[in-house]
A and B are shown apart, each in its own frame.
Chain A
Amino acid sequence: MAKGTPKPDELSRIDYTPPQKEWMDTPVKLKPGMYCWGAKAKNLQAVGFPNARDWTPADEDWKLPENWEWTVLEGIYDRLKKYRSFQLFLDICVRCGACADKCHFYIGSGDPKNMPVLRAELLRSVYRRHFTFGGKLLGRIAGARKLTLDVLKEWWYYFFQCTECRRCSVFCPYGIDQAEITMMGRELLNLLGLNIDWIQGPVANCYKKGNHLGLEPHTIMSNIEFMLDDIESITGIRIEPSFNRKGAEILFVTPSGDLFADPGTYTCMGYLMLFHELGLDYTWSTYASEGGNFGFFTTNEMAKRLNAKIYAEAKRLGVKWILGGECGHMWRVVHQYMDTWNGPADFLEEPVSPITGTKFENAKTTKMVHIAEFTADLIRHGKLNLDPSRNDHLKVTFHDSCNTSRGMGIFEEPRYIIKNVCNNFYEMPENTIREKTFCCGSGSGLNAGENMELRMRGGLPRANAVKYVHEKYGVNMLANICAIDRAALSTLMDYWVPGVGVTGVHELVANALVMKGEKKRTTNLRGEPLPGVEEEEEEGKEEKEEQGG
């Protein structure tokens, strides 16, 4: 019997109330299933990150550099000087607790250190001890503690249990954004080479090859080619997109997950079909072949380095503006950071839809338009021939991705599109959508395999709301506009709400899109028969039989 497992007759007498200890006295215990593998030496080396070595989080020895405490404290000091928000967030929390029960990880796990306020305290306590007079003087009474190896391990465990989703900040009266504190925490950990390989691997790939998966140009092209074959067999139309074409009007950038991972690939087929139907003058790039940016989950500087290729490629190709696919954190980066990091993109023009003439004034500085805005505008102007009945077998709900909702306020466009391409749409409860949306539980680079237990905890509140509309209205499809969602929510549904599929919005669009010159469609993009088709075929067969007989 496993250690600590009680005998049957002990079970009903057992007292398993957890010890009522203060959080500072509860040392961290790394539980398998809750954390990711450590970043590999070669992936840290690839981008020149410090302390590159292979290490295992479960080991006692994390192979830290000498004087690591000093490195971290200096790191805090530098960041306090550099980011006013960091200093502010460390100082102004009044511990009112409004954020405490708003984090999906806390709601799902019940672990107090997943309360946003306590997650911040992990770092704040060290800040007090080493950087404030009161903390130095009063120590623990003032909520201060020294930086020790246990503290460092606790940081690592819990800053990689925060998806930087910012839900807590919506409820904080001071607008304290735990996501930013987590970012700082992760930056500090990076100074010691303490990232996770699920993040560091893609960063290294992206730095070397331009995308997280490390796909080379011919692989990207042949993979899209593969989708084109599928599209041809479904619609009878052969699409011929261009790659790295100079002088195109628009550069299209999307997360590389759309190129390989199902069901994202169907969304990608959706883009291809839509652009073909519009006759859009656009090009793919095999260099700026990644919209996502896992660098964002390491350091500000790394994110900037990886992001730079988008403008560089736009400049090289001489396009007028950039259109971006369905992604979450890519848009947080584009919307909130790209312009200050790598702008001004004054060599580009203010984006104008060539089809409707609409000026995308919101993208005046970044010159990059979200595809949901682009498509919603097309529908609004009646530019698409749509047959929503092709999606009649679906009862759809929409998951707002943390980054597009809280990071840039995209709420209406995807809903507007879905309602125009599907006949059955149902909202999840009000406190689980829009700016209060619950995270998928796998954001900010935590969508690995080895931390599945963590992901299922974090995704519980989201799944719970889906379950509700599934049981109440028969919802069987969860739409979203994020590549990580498409992969992560599929898994989440599999555990919590079997029977609900996951789709990108542009997959729904493409299924409803009646293209010029297409043959009669009998299946959707997944190769499943369209509603009504099977019956028609049955009837056809019966008729023939009757005639024959």
Chain B
Amino acid sequence: MELKNILSAKRTAVLKKWFDVILESYPPNTAEFLRTQKDPFANPVGHTIFEGMEGIFDELLEGVDSHKASVFLDNIIRVRAIQDFTPSQAVLFVFLLKKVIEEEVGEELRKEGLSEELTLLNSRIDKLALLAFDIYMKCREKLYELRAKELENRTFRLLKKANLVYEIQEQEAESRN
């Protein structure tokens, strides 16, 4: 309970710092753009990341419901899965939250005798990280699936026609027998 209160009070500071360290993974000009452009349609990446972070943070306070957390994680990872990142870089942002929380409230929590709760919090973040890997893999698999599906759409009519021909041949063969 205590932990939740302390973290809630620091929500803005934690989110800001977390956002900053995530943006460090982009080139400086880009990070600046992602940070400052507030229009969600002109800056979908910055907007999506921040919104996802908010969701994940609030979820963390409540105890991480896999289903709900996945939605927020998915929004961010879907973006990073198609950007210039290795798999580990793409999901690193989850681990970075540990670092940010430690820096922002670690000392306070220990002073309040809440070390155990901090450990619990970290294990929740680990859970998020595992989810993140799964989501990343799904996004990458999706890219391959899309390729295959496009090919199918492009040739569907041809295939259908081929089947039709086949059907007719079959019927003819049948009527001959």
Which residue numbers of A lie inside 8 Å of B, CB to CB? 2, 4-6, 11-12, 14-18, 20, 31, 33, 100-101, 106-112, 115, 222-223, 226, 259-262, 265, 429, 431-432, 449-450, 452-453, 456-457, 460-461, 464-465, 468, 487, 490-491, 494-496
Contacts and interface: CB of A to CB of B under 8 A. Distances in A.
A31 B160 CA distance: 36
B150 A487 contact: yes
Given A4-B86, A461-B41, A491-B150, A110 B157 contact: no
A11 B95 CA distance: 7
Interface residues of B, number: 49
B79 interface: yes
Interface of B: 24-30, 33-34, 37, 39-45, 47-48, 78-79, 82-84, 86-89, 92, 95-96, 98-99, 142-144, 146-147, 149-151, 153-158, 160-161
A460 B143 contact: no
- A2, A12, A108 — most chain B CB neighbours (10 Å): A12
Contacts of B88: 5-6, 11
25 contacts: A11-B88, A12-B96, A31-B84, A33-B143, A107-B43, A108-B82, A110-B34, A110-B83, A111-B84, A222-B161, A226-B161, A260-B155, A260-B158, A261-B153, A261-B156, A261-B157, A449-B147, A452-B147, A453-B82, A456-B82, A460-B44, A491-B149, A491-B150, A494-B149, A496-B78
Contact of A16 (B24, B45, B48): B24
A11 B147 CA distance: 32
Contacts of B84: 31, 109-111
A137 B160 CA distance: 65
- Nearest 5 pairs between A and B by C-beta? A464-B44, A110-B30, A449-B147, A456-B82, A17-B24
A16 B154 contact: no
Contacts of B161: 222-223, 226
A54 B26 CA distance: 36
Contacts of A222: 161
A461 B88 CA distance: 25
Contacts of A450: 147
B27 A110 contact: yes
B67 to A, nearest CB: 16
A226 B144 CA distance: 30
B86 A112 contact: no
A31 B82 CA distance: 11
- A15, A110, A112, A115 — most chain B CB neighbours (10 Å): A110
Nearest to A462: B44
B84 to A, nearest CB: 7
A429 B26 CA distance: 27
A223 B159 CA distance: 12
A197 B138 CA distance: 29
B5 to A, nearest CB: 25
A5 B153 contact: no
A110 B27 CA distance: 7
Contacts of B154: 260-261, 487
Given A101-B37, A449-B147, A461-B41, A490 B153 contact: yes
